[in-house]
Structure formats: structure tokens, C-alpha cells
Amino acid sequence: MGGVDVTDPTTLVAAGAAAIAIVCAALALSARRALAAVRRSTDILTADGSGHSLADVVASRSRDLESLAAQVDALSARLDATRVELSAALRHVSVVRYDAFGDMGGRMSFSTALLDDNADGLLITSIHGRSETRTYMKPVVCAGCDQLSPEEQQAINQAMGRS
């Protein structure tokens, strides 16, 4: 008899082991294909050819954004300080030229207002006559001053944007 005895336990175990080996090989091949697919999809997570992962790039950009946010905060503080300083600068200026005396021509007299944002500052008036010129300086507080001529009041109003 040279055939295989199907009832022999050794043959049955060998056949079962062979069947299990075939199933395991099929599962291993399937797992290898799945792993290859996962690796291909994770290749997207690597940045350019530098070898940095997406997580590294995101972390780096996050640090950059934090640095930029700190710089913006510092610039904002400097801008606020500059605004405070600028409000005290004499930046509202107006000149009104006029004839102080009816017989003089050429509007040689003038009143100049130099004011800050609070309408505080300085008023310079120069009155030109035939034989002399007189110049006066007056302090201005809140757009007001003692004994203002109409031309001086006009200069203050123009400097503060009020016509």
C-alpha cells in the first residue's frame, strides 16, 4: 500500500498544520499590503525632502506664530506709547494773515496757533505797522486764552479744525 492513511493522526496534524500555515501566509501577505498602504499614506506627513515630519513642521510654525504674536504685542505697546506722546505734540497749526491797520496793505500781520490734541499750546501774533512790528506770544489752554483778538480766535479755531 503506498498511499496516505487519512485516518493516521500524524497525517491529520500535518494536514491541519499545512492548512494553518497557508492561512497564516495569506494573513501575513494581507497585513504586509495593509502596512504598505499605511506607509504610503503617512509619506504625505513628511515634509519636503528634508526628512522633517508634518508634526515637526507644525511645531516649528507654532513657535514662529508665538514669536510673531509677542512681536505684535510689543509693537502694540510701543504704538500706544507713541499715541500718548503724539497727543502732546504741537501738531495742529494754523496761520491767519490780516491787515492790522486799515491804511496798510499786503496783510503783513499774522496770528499763528500751535496746539496739541487737547487744544493746549502757543499763540504767536505779529502786528506789522508802518514804523514798527510787534510780536506777542500767548499760552493757550483748552483752546482758550486771555484777551483774544478775532484773528487769534480764528487761528485757534482753524488749528483745531473748527472754521
pLDDT digits (tens, 9 = 90+) for 70-127: 999 999 999 999 998 888 888 899 999 998 887 767 788 999 999 998 889 999 999 9
Q: pLDDT at position 70, please? A: 95
More confident residue, 124 or 50: 124
The arithmetic mean of pLDDT across residues 10-21, rounded, is 89
Q: pLDDT at position 30, please? A: 93
Q: 127 - beta bridge partners?
A: 134
Both 96 and 155 in a single domain?
Answer: yes
On whether the CB atoms of residues 161 and 154 are closer than 8 A, the answer is no
**83 belongs to a structural domain:** yes
Give the HSE-up count for residue 113: Cα atoms under 13 Å, Cβ half-sphere.
29
Q: pLDDT at position 163, please? A: 66
Q: pLDDT at position 162, please? A: 81
**60 belongs to a structural domain:** yes
User: Confidence class of residue 27 from pLDDT cuts 50, 70 and 90?
Assistant: very high
Q: pLDDT at position 45, please? A: 64
**1 belongs to a structural domain:** no
Both 17 and 66 in a single domain?
Answer: no
Give residue 14's domain range: 8-45
Label each residue of the chain as H, E or C: CCCCCCCCHHHHHHHHHHHHHHHHHHHHHHHHHHHHHHHHHHHHHECCCCCCEHHHHHHHHHHHHHHHHHHHHHHHHHHHHHHHHHHCCCCEEEEEEECCCCCCCCCCEEEEEEECCCCCEEEEEEEECCCCEEEEEEEEECCECCCCCHHHHHHHHHHCCCC
- Number of domains making up the chain: 3
Phi, psi (rounded to 5 degrees) for 66: -65, -40
Q: pLDDT at position 49, please? A: 61
Both 115 and 130 in a single domain?
Answer: yes
Q: Which pTM was predicted? A: 0.55
Tell whether the model's pLDDT for residue 34 goes beyond 70: yes
More confident residue, 91 or 49: 91
More confident residue, 13 or 103: 13
Both 123 and 145 in a single domain?
Answer: yes
Both 60 and 19 in a single domain?
Answer: no
**3 belongs to a structural domain:** no
Which of these three, 70, 87, 104, is where a domain ends?
87
